[in-house]
């Protein structure tokens, strides 16, 4: 019975309900990466069919068709690594708040592992070390599979980024200068759940960065910060007593609600930009297909000239139809706007607890809809 109780405590400490939110950025970035590579790969097939036995065009077509493959091992390893970061962060949060007494009888929500006494601080610290080591190994494997040993400087950059993520996961509540106790948690959550997650996986898969990716990365980042903001609004009274100076504690509940509205509205606008860009990119590609004289003139040039003009060639892709399914991810914001009215009407911070799950799952829903949207667009 004691072993069963301890196992449940460890599962509770891992906070499984936070995991879908943590991988949302990876799913979104992977979806857009797949869309990008699918366009390039299909364009290579089209060039091959249009080459008219021109060796230069055929050579370039092979580059596009065979060099722009989606490596599924990269997002799989990224998901494993991200889950490791999140579990490490949850263990560290339990440890930090437990030893500092922040998790006490005034706290709203489920009892934490150290707070319950089932798991000792030493056991939790050992679990943090093991999780950190395993996550670092997973991160190194991810970097190797994506970049190999040729791109050494970029590999080192991502390794430093991985170490920084481990540091951020631990230092949120652990130590004398824990940044979560100084109101910086929102900043770190936005950076690592948004741009680092979305644009990081996009680069690891495509080996390129596109400015358009800033919009979905901001969307996921702000939705993730909204979850933390809700958590801090719920815990405002216990955090005050424990000396945990979150942004919510500093500005008060009323202003925190206004900031919360801002997070979700800006996230929605960025999602609109991202989906609109996907839609009009399809329109642009379809429109360019009618400019046959331009592509015919490119086909008549030699290989060097063709490679010089490859940006022009990428405007052509006959394998994708124009579909409004690009806007499908916006449906995830319907429950979020309903949630805003709930937050506005709620006076007691304790009643905000059920809203945490709604925002977290809506963020994950947005990621899943991005995948479905891309799958439909690229099915042609």
3-state secondary structure 123-172: HHHHHHHHHHHHHHHHHHHHHHHHHCCCCHHHHHHHHHHHHHHHHHHHHC
In this prediction, residues 287-295 reach a mean pLDDT of: 43
Entry pTM: 0.84
Dihedral angle, C-alpha 202, 207, 210, 213, nearest 10 °: 10
pLDDT at position 296, please? 43
Q: How far apart are CA 355 and CA 352, in angstroms?
A: 5
Number of domains in the chain: 1
Residue 176 has pLDDT above 90, yes or no: no
- Average pLDDT of 5-27? 89
For 90-94, 95-99, 270-274, which range has the lowest pLDDT when averaged over its residues? 95-99
User: Which of 25-29, 215-219, 228-232 is the least confident region?
Assistant: 228-232
The parent domain of residue 219 ranges over: 2-377
Torsion of CA 290, 296, 302, 308, to 10 degrees: -20
- Identify which has the larger pLDDT, 104 or 26: 26
Helix H or strand E encompassing 254: helix 253-288
H-run or E-run covering 177: none
pLDDT digits 0-9 by tens, 53-72: 555 545 554 555 555 678 99
Place 209 in a pLDDT band, splitting at 50, 70 and 90. Answer: confident
Q: Please list, in sequence order, all residues whose beta carbon lies within 8 angstroms of the beta carbon of residue 237, skipping any fewer than 6 positions away.
A: 106, 349
Between 72 and 308, where is the model more confident?
72
Across residues 17-26, what is the average pLDDT? Answer: 94
pLDDT of residue 307: 37
- Contact predicate 328/368, CB 8 Å: no
Q: 46 vs 289, which has greater pLDDT? A: 46
Could you read off the pLDDT of 187-201 as tens digits, one per residue? 999 999 999 999 999
Tokens 């490119």 sit at which residue? 298
């Amino acid at each position: 019975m004691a072993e069963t109780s301890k196992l449940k405590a460890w599962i509770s400490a891992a906070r499984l309900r936070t995991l879908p939110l943590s991988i949302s950025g990876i799913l979104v970035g992977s979806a857009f990466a797949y869309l990008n590579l699918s366009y390039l790969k299909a364009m290579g097939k089209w060039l091959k069919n249009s080459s008219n036995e021109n060796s230069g065009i055929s050579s370039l077509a092979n580059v596009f068709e065979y060099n722009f493959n989606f490596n599924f091992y990269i997002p799989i390893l990224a998901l494993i690594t991200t889950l490791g970061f999140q579990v490490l962060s949850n263990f560290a949060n339990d440890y930090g708040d437990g030893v500092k007494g922040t998790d006490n009888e005034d706290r709203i929500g489920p009892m934490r592992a150290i707070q319950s006494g089932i798991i000792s601080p030493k056991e939790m610290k050992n679990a943090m070390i093991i999780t950190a080591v395993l996550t670092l190994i997973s991160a190194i494997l991810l970097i190797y599979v994506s970049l190999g040993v040729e791109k050494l400087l970029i590999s080192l950059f991502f390794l430093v980024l991985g170490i920084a993520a481990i540091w951020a996961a631990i230092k949120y509540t652990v130590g004398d200068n824990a940044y979560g106790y100084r109101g910086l948690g929102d900043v770190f959550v936005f950076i690592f759940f948004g741009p680092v997650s979305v644009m990081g996986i996009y680069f690891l898969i495509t080996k390129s960065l596109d400015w358009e990716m800033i919009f979905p990365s901001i969307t996921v980042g702000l939705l993730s910060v909204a979850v933390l903001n809700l958590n801090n609004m719920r815990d405002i009274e216990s955090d005050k007593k424990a000396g945990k100076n979150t942004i919510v504690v500093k500005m008060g509940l009323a202003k925190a609600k206004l900031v919360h509205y801002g997070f979700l509205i800006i996230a929605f606008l960025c999602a609109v930009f991202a989906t609109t860009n996907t839609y009009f990119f399809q329109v642009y590609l379809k429109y360019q297909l009618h400019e046959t004289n331009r592509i015919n003139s490119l086909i008549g040039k030699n290989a060097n000239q063709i490679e010089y003009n490859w940006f022009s060639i990428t405007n052509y892709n006959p394998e994708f139809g124009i579909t409004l399914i690009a806007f499908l991810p916006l449906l995830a914001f319907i429950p979020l706007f309903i949630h805003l009215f709930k937050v506005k009407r709620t006076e007691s911070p304790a009643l905000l607890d059920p809203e945490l799950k709604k925002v977290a799952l809506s963020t994950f829903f947005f990621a899943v809809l991005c995948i479905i949207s891309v799958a439909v667009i690229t099915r042609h």
